[in-house]
Amino acid sequence: MAASGGNVMERIVALCKRRGFIFPSSEIYGGINGFWDYGPLGVELKRNLKDAWWKDMVHAREDMVGLDCSIIMHPQVWKCSGHYDLFCDLMVDCRACKARFRADQLKDMQCPMKPSKHPGEHDRCDLTEPREFNLMFESYAGAVKDEENRVFLRPETAQGIFVNFKNVCDSTRVRIPFGIAQIGKSFRNEITPRNFTFRSREFEQMEIEFFCHPGESARWYEYWRDVRLRWYTDLGLTSRKLRLREHGKDELSHYSCGTSDIEYAFPFLAEGDFGELEGIAHRGDFDLRSHMEGKLVARDGKLVPDLDEQGKPKYKGSGRDLTYYDDERKERFIPHVIEPSAGADRGTLAFICEAYTVDESRPSPELMRFHPRLAPIKAAVFPLVNKDGLPEIAEPIYRAIRQRWPAQYDAKASIGKRYARMDEAGTPYCFTIDGQTKEDGTVTVRDRDTGAQTRIDKTRVVEFLAEKLGL
Ligand code: ATP
């Protein structure tokens, strides 16, 4: 049974720290708000998630290519994309405790300075008027810290794909419809990072921009919405905590004719609340046109150039031709774009929460039921005792497994403790070599989820794992 209840998140965070999934960044100096480090198990888990995405979305498909862009790009990219002007949250300051908050999250925030007068809620304190706060981190490229040299850390990986659209078309044999995929770090100076890794200031995204003919974009939007939802369920997010939510017309950006979020009911959220794992957006031709013509705004349902007070374009585009000539249709057009944009850290966190199980009937009640593709360690090998010729049988079995999958060898502590450690790491199978192995050549296989033990011939271990893991 999956765990539920108020302190579940605390227990998950504690397990992540204890077993080396996730640590607070720079912890020995007290940590830094909104930044996290992945420990030895966490790095494998997150890498497995990213590898699964890359394999399923890029390698397994004939209509997708990959890309890896720089984090810092020409500042004009962010002016034309709209991030420079619009990528803002409203923030307010509490005059009592001097803390800063996102205006839309005030209700959940306690004011430590006024707990008695106002039942701890900031929305009843002495607050400043809401002000806009741009979420992009700034830096300077070059020795001089002036406006000329001001640059931004990307707040999304998507723009790197749009500005390389022409390069990819010119250097590969892709034909529309096709997609470009990218995994990489993004940075947002979130006003109130919180909920473990859910809202961080540095995080990783897995993004696809799928380019298609405008007449086919509605169909591709539905296709991608379904494909992406199925990807999560195939990897084990099967509970009712996962859902797809179609945005209402009033929630859509001016250029979008459809957006859906894949959401998960994280244990740190209130009952009935969901948090976004991935957004799938129909972006029309907004991005390619903006990088071609300059920043656009919507007027009377149409995209028009954003003009300054003198009536000149506020931000100039690249002036490059980002149209596409379809030689089958004999038609030139600006492709429409469907964007499935996922967070690798939020995904990892959702799989951690889903996997976390407490079964009080077991000697060690906490276990992580990861899908075999995601499990950081696929198998463990234990000689029951570290003598009597058992290590000599166990070691070659362990070496054979390691040739194909990450595995661990453990000859110390009681067998119960060794199983418990592997349960917490989410290792699907443990093989124990005991006295009977010397007699009949069989080893015990223990299944993480059921705790059931069976015996198989020691020569069949790798074959058994290949079959069970499906890897
Ligand atoms: P939110 O509304 O939660 O701030 P968003 O709608 O701004 O998210 P997008 O801009 O659509 O998010 O980014 C795509 C994905 O990137 C999100 O679905 C999420 O998985 C991830 N992501 C965005 N911001 C963060 C963050 N601060 N920390 C971790 N992951 C993030």
**CATH number of domain containing 189:** 3.30.930.10
- Residue 40 Cα to ligand 1 midpoint, Å, equals 25
Residue closest via CA to ligand 1's atom 22 equals 343
Residues in contact with ligand 1 by the CB-under-6-Å rule are 156, 188, 190, 199-200, 203, 205, 276-279, 341-343, 345-346
Q: Is 358 within the bounds of a domain?
A: no
Same domain, 262 and 209: yes
Domain boundary among 134, 151, 170: 134
- Mean pLDDT score of the chain, rounded to an integer? 93
Are residues 165 and 146 part of one domain?
yes
Ligand 1 atom 20 nearest Cα: 343
> In ligand 1, which atom is closest to the CA atom of 344?
20
The two three-digit tokens of residue 439, written as one number: 């007699």
171 plus 259 within the same structural domain = yes
Same domain, yes or no: 57 and 142: yes
Which atom, in ligand 1's list, is nearest to the CA of 347?
Answer: 20
Determine, yes or no, domain membership for 17.
yes
Nearest of 392, 393, 391, 403 to residue 465 by alpha carbon: 403
Write out pLDDT tens, residues 402-454: 999 999 999 999 999 999 999 999 999 999 999 999 999 999 999 999 999 99
Q: Which atom of ligand 1 is nearest to the CA of 278?
A: 18
Mutational pocket test of ligand 1: of 276, 287, 345, 352, the residue with most ligand atoms within 8 Å of the beta carbon:
276
- Total domains in the chain come to 3
Atom of ligand 1 nearest to the CA of 204: 30
Is-contact 338 57, C-beta < 8 A? no
Closest ligand 1 atom to residue 341 Cα is 14
CA dihedral of residues 72, 76, 79, 83 (deg, nearest 10): -10
Query: Do residue 462 and residue 401 come from a single domain?
Result: yes
Q: 192 C-alpha vs ligand 1 centroid, how far in Å?
A: 13
What pLDDT digit, counting tens, does each position of 124-156 carry?
A: 688 888 888 899 999 999 999 999 999 999 999
Give the domain extent around 106.
88-134
Over residues 41-91, the pLDDT tens digits come to: 999 999 999 999 999 999 999 999 999 999 999 999 999 999 999 888 888
Nearest atom in ligand 1 to the alpha carbon of residue 261 is: 18
Identify whether 361 is part of a domain.
no
**Domain presence at residue 371:** no
Q: Based on the fold, state whether residues 153 and 77 are members of the same structural domain.
A: yes
Cα gap 122→109, rounded to integer Å: 6
Nearest-atom number in ligand 1 for the CA of 188 is: 27
pLDDT reported for residue 254: 67
Cα Rg of the chain (Å, integer): 26
Residue 247 and residue 223 in one domain? yes
Closest residue to atom 1 of ligand 1, CA basis:
276
In a domain? residue 1: no
Cβ count within 10 A of residue 357: 18
Q: What is the pLDDT of residue 140?
A: 97
* Best mutation site among 91, 154, 205, 256 for ligand 1 pocket (most ligand atoms within 8 Å of CB): 205
pLDDT above 90 for 16: yes
Contact 305, 296 (CB under 8 A): yes
pLDDT of residue 110: 63
Q: The tokens of 372 are what?
A: 């075999």
Q: Look at residue 303 and tell me if it is in a domain.
A: yes
Asked if the structure places residue 382 within a domain, the reply is: yes
Q: For position 236, what pLDDT does the model report?
A: 95
Residues in the chain: 471
Q: Long-range contacts for 273-279 (Cβ within 8 Å, ≥24 apart)?
A: 274/243, 274/245, 275/195, 275/198, 275/346, 276/346, 277/232, 277/342, 277/343, 277/346, 277/347, 277/350, 278/228, 278/340, 278/341, 278/342, 278/343, 278/347, 279/339, 279/340, 279/341
How many angstroms does the Cα of residue 198 sit away from the middle of ligand 1?
8
- The sign one gets for the Cα dihedral 402, 405, 410, 411 is negative
Same domain, 280 and 428: no
Q: Best substitution site from 136, 203, 231 to test ligand 1's pocket, by max atoms within 8 Å of Cβ?
A: 203
98 and 227 belong to one structural domain: no
Same-domain pairing of 225 and 326: yes
The residue nearest atom 21 of ligand 1, judged by CA position, is 343
H/E stretch holding 277 reads: strand 275-284
- Residues of the chain with pLDDT > 90, as a percent, come to 80
Q: How far apart are CA 260 and CA 279, in angstroms?
A: 6
Q: Is residue 304 part of a domain?
A: yes
pLDDT tens string 87-126: 888 888 888 788 888 887 776 666 666 554 444 566 668 8
- From the CA of 321, how far away is ligand 1's center (Å)? 31
Protein residue with least CA distance to atom 18, ligand 1: 278
For position 119, what pLDDT does the model report? 47
164 and 277, same structural domain? yes
Residue matched to tokens 């003198």 = 310
Q: Which ligand 1 atom is the nearest neighbour of the CA of 200?
A: 28
| Domain end point (choices 101, 134, 167) | 134
432: domain CATH number is 3.40.50.800
CB atoms within 10 A of CB 4: 9
Q: What is the pLDDT of residue 162?
A: 98
The percent of residues in the chain predicted with pLDDT above 70, rounded, is 94
Contact of 34 with 199, CB cutoff 8 Å: yes
Residue 117: per-residue pLDDT: 46
For ligand 1, the distance from its centroid to the CA atom of residue 343, given in whole angstroms, is: 6
Nearest-CA residue for ligand 1 atom 30 is 343
Please indicate, yes or no, whether residues 165 and 128 belong to a single structural domain of this protein: no
